Amino acid sequence: MTTHTATAQSSPNIAFIKYWGNRDNALRLPVNGSISMNLEGLYTRTTVSFQPSLGMDELIINGHEVTGKSLERVSALLDVVRQGAGLGLRAEVVSDNNFPTGAGIASSAAAFAALALAATKAAGLDWPESAISRLARLGSGSASRSIPSGFVEWQMGSGDEDSFAVSIAPPEHWALADCVAIVSAGHKTTGSTEGHALAPTSPLQAARVADAPRRLEICRQAILTRDFEAFANIIEHDSDMMHAVMMTSQPALFYWQPATLAVMQAVREWRKSGRQVAYTIDAGPNVHVLCPQAAREAVAALLGQIPGVGQVLTATAGGPARIL
């Protein structure tokens, strides 16, 4: 008898052109394409085992059993796999992160990418990368981008079939580092899923979406030609545009803390004085500061001196989700 067990590992990713808003919330079909880089060294490892003895799916994250909404989201993805494989068995899902969950590094991208890959493998399905990226997308949009390698573009597509992510360059193409300045937030922020649903309530979202093809093109070219200046300008512009939408949603979403702005200002000043640095911020107060890999330690040290910045995590460009 086949064992119906598999383990996969995948990394979180940092978006340079952001995903914010869906045209179909259930299928997570985005209103614009997005571009990201996988983060080497940070990972989620997930084992899926389909077992005849289980009456329902079970989820264990970092040693703790998880139920409720998170389990439902996992079960919904497993249902797609069960349907594809003609499999009726429930599964045990055991997942561990090597990065702090409370530190504000989005864990859903790595989590759903590893889940999608492990679940298809455990069910005996040998799906192409594009199909696994689509499956991961159903769990969390940004997870679609953690399936391919290195620098990745998630194409918005015309529907479910062609909305998946592809690699635009391997990790070794460009020696960039992401220094994540962790800013301690005093309150729990609104999650991405609720945030995407609010995006259309901002009158700025339509302009942001209409202009997305231009930003995608500039960012893609900046990556392909390793043009740091063009890259810095477009990723900051894109992040600022997304936060402008967030701040003008109804209700408004303000993710920044005072230290968030302090880091943004420092990064802009450092760049003016000739240092290659650029910021981007997701749905939280932490600031991702991109720089050449050789400058990684110097930049991390500088960031650590800014009041309000706690830990600084660093990562380089990472490979694809893979079976262990």
The residues binding ligand DP6 (CB under 6 A) are 15, 18-20, 28, 34, 106, 108, 140-142, 192-193, 196, 282-283
Closer CB to ligand DP6, 106 or 291, in the complex: 106
At its nearest, how many Å lie between ligand DP6 and the CB of residue 68?
Answer: 16
Closer CB to ligand DP6, 212 or 302, in the complex: 212
At its nearest, how many Å lie between ligand DP6 and the CB of residue 246?
Answer: 9
At its nearest, how many Å lie between ligand DP6 and the CB of residue 277?
Answer: 20
At its nearest, how many Å lie between ligand DP6 and the CB of residue 141?
Answer: 3
Closer CB to ligand DP6, 30 or 320, in the complex: 30
At its nearest, how many Å lie between ligand DP6 and the CB of residue 319?
Answer: 19
197 is written with which tokens? 């649903």
Closer CB to ligand DP6, 39 or 302, in the complex: 39
Closer CB to ligand DP6, 10 or 140, in the complex: 140
Closer CB to ligand DP6, 18 or 271, in the complex: 18
At its nearest, how many Å lie between ligand DP6 and the CB of residue 12?
Answer: 9
Q: Measure the CA dihedral 141/145/146/151, to 10°.
A: -160
Closer CB to ligand DP6, 19 or 99, in the complex: 19
At its nearest, how many Å lie between ligand DP6 and the CB of residue 293?
Answer: 22
